[in-house]
Amino acid sequence: PANADWRLVRQQICMVFQSYHLFPHMTVLDNILLGPLRVQKRSAAEARQQAEALLQRVGLTEKRDAYPRELSGGQQQRIAIVRALCMNPKVMLFDEVTA
């Protein structure tokens, strides 16, 4: 496929890494919204609504304004999963899923 086709394929795949790769200078909500707003160019209201719903689903609504350093490892992992899910991928890949 052409390069443009590969770009579209890559946008449908999300990866959650063992080290989470959350931006330390950004709040939880800002970390989650970065991809939907910058990469997918979605509306802020739509992306925020989805992010809030996913945060509620994983029990971390109250952490939306926290920074990664204020979260436990398990909470950071759930935020990384929410961040990936907010991109509406067709495929999700996990590094060290049983670690």
Q: What is the CATH classification number for the domain harbouring 9?
A: 3.40.50.300
Which phi and psi angles does 84 have, rounded to 5°? Answer: -70, -45
Q: What domain range is 82 assigned to?
A: 3-94
Asked whether residue 99 is domain-assigned, the answer is no
Asked whether residue 77 is domain-assigned, the answer is yes
Asked whether residue 30 is domain-assigned, the answer is yes
Cα–Cα nearest to 75, from 14, 22, 15, 13: 22
Q: Which positions ≥6 away from 60 have C-beta within 8 Å?
A: 28, 75, 78, 79, 82
Asked whether residue 87 is domain-assigned, the answer is yes
Q: pLDDT tens digits, residue range 10-48?
A: 778 887 877 778 999 999 999 999 999 998 899 999 999
Into how many domains does the chain fold?
Answer: 1
Which phi and psi angles does 25 have, rounded to 5°? Answer: -90, 5
Q: What is the average pLDDT across 74-96?
A: 90
Q: Tell me the percentage of the chain whose pLDDT exceeds 90.
A: 63
